A = this chain, B = another copy of it.
Amino acid sequence: MTISDFALIDRAVAEAAEARPIWAQSGATVRSQLLRGLADVLEANADELIGLADRETGLGEARLKGEIARTAYQLRGFASEVDAGVPFRRIDDAAVEGLPPAGRPRLTRVRVPLGPVAMFSASNFPFAFSVLGGDTASALAAGCPVVVKAHSGHPQLSRAVFDLARGVIARQQLPAGVLTMVESASRAGGGHLVQHPDIAAVAFTGSYQGGKALWKLANERRHPIPFFGELGSVNPLVALPNALAKDPDGLAKALAGSITLGCGQFCTSPGVIVLLDDPASDRFVASLGTALKPIQTHRMLTDGIRSGFEKAAAAIARANDVQALFEPAVDGAGPAPQLFQVSAERFIADERLRDEMFGPAAIVVRARSLNEATEALAAIGGTLTATLWGVEEPNEANRALVRVAETIAGRVLFAGVPTGVAVTHAQHHGGPWPASTAPSTTSVGYAALERFLRPVALQDAPAWVLEGKQG
């Protein structure tokens, strides 16, 4: 990190700070027009951007095409939220004559944008959680300028998307500081950004280590600021024998596909498979191994992610009483899938077995009873998703399992696999630590924009102050 890198960060933040009041006061039409313009420009340049993205990330054309569609969809989705007036909603309490507690002044609850948001791009979603991804879209919709910290895994793509966005901003005659970008790859640069006095909030998607370090720096400011970080998740799946018996091969294939999707580089990749001791489970484990072993993964996003995966998988492999369920095939472009197995007793006793392996691997946890399976799930503590197969019956054991799943996860699935996160109003992509540093907030779905608004109660406000609030 050189002084000039800090100076570039300071310049980007200064631009954002200058745009702050203008963007905070912008009306619905101005905001939604920008969001739709950004969606359009992505789609209009999809071919070129996909080529760039594939060279830098190796994620493949089909996936990247889908990701551009999703990114445009969520930009337009937030535009619709803005048009519907979501950021401008008020709650009015009329004055009530008389003494407290019933007597009261007139109060109006509005929400104000937090201010410039430092947005740390993710490596694994070069469109949907990068320069114009969900965090940027929701922060812009809320009225906050965004300072993008580009991810070093796809620098050229980041620059290309940023240049296109800047073009839209200029054509719409908006202040350039609505969206700025810094490219520093160093920890010091990220820390400088998070601690900049004009940064009002942080959005982060990435590794536990990197995210926790930035979260600590945000908390060490003289005035700590909100930090919305998604730091990691093991995404347990509990599959009961009654579900497995119906279609062991089909379910195994679906699960193997989910474990290896994108070379396992999804935050919702299922990493822990909890099974009861039962012949149907044995049959399923065999099918899962058969389905998983031959899958050829593509190369991982960065060398650091690859070595991190290998380290994490090796640590699981050499832990006491952990069994490798098959000899991994020779690596292709990406690492070979791996599957481990351990008893629920050991899994509960050894917290290192609950660490995330970010890549194409999972650990099967064998429980002697549904009660023990529930305890294994509880031991996980915090996760983005928990999937339960086979809890159709409302008996006491299933109730307990659902209760624990709801306690540790932000999303609970009762069918299917956890990869694939729909952008809707009901979606919640968060969860207790370490899934999220702010577990009541979501980074996917329309509720994401609420992160960047702060309520303010206006007491006895003149009419002009309230008029200004309706966008």
Contacts and interface: CB of A to CB of B under 8 A. Distances in A.
Q: How many copies does the complex hold?
A: 2
Contacts of A433: 223-225
Nearest to A469: B406
A119 B224 CA distance: 22
Closest 9 pairs (CB-CB, A-B): A104-B422, A394-B464, A109-B426, A73-B101, A107-B426, A428-B457, A93-B426, A413-B459, A70-B101
A410 B440 contact: no
B112 A406 contact: yes
A468 B218 CA distance: 39
A381 interface: yes
Interface string A413-429: 11110001011111111
Given A70-B100, A410-B457, A459-B411, A440 B226 contact: yes
Contact of A455 (B225, B428, B454, B455): B428
A86 B254 CA distance: 38
Interface string A426-469: 11111011100101101001010011011111111110110010
A415 B381 contact: no
B100 A457 contact: no
A21 B450 CA distance: 29
A25 B457 CA distance: 32
7 contacts: A66-B101, A73-B101, A93-B425, A105-B415, A115-B407, A226-B440, A391-B465
B91 A456 contact: no
A447 B455 CA distance: 10
A296 interface: no
Given A407-B115, A432-B223, A455 B437 contact: no
A91 B426 contact: yes
B91 A73 contact: no
Contacts of A302: none
A392 interface: yes
Contacts of A273: none
A412 B456 CA distance: 7
Interface in A366-401: 381-382, 391-392, 394, 399
A101 B66 CA distance: 8
Given A93-B424, A101-B74, A442-B455, A413 B460 contact: yes
A26 interface: no
B108 A426 contact: yes
A73 B98 CA distance: 14
Interface in A1-60: 21, 24-25
A403 interface: yes
Contacts of A424: 93, 104, 107
A402 B447 CA distance: 27
A259 interface: no
A391 B92 CA distance: 21
A465 B412 CA distance: 11
Given A223-B432, A427-B109, A416 B456 contact: no
Contacts of A109: 425-428, 447
A398 B389 CA distance: 59
A394 B465 CA distance: 8
A333 interface: no
Given A93-B424, A457-B410, A100 B66 contact: yes
B447 A107 contact: no
Interface string A90-119: 011100000111101101110010010000
Given A70-B100, A422-B100, A428 B456 contact: yes
Contact of A461 (B74, B412, B430): B412
A226 B440 CA distance: 9
Contact of A460 (B25, B416, B430): B416
A416 B105 contact: yes
Given A102-B73, A430-B455, A460-B416, A465 B410 contact: no
A156 interface: no
A213 to B, nearest CB: 13
A323 interface: no
A21 B434 CA distance: 23
A80 interface: no
B391 A462 contact: yes
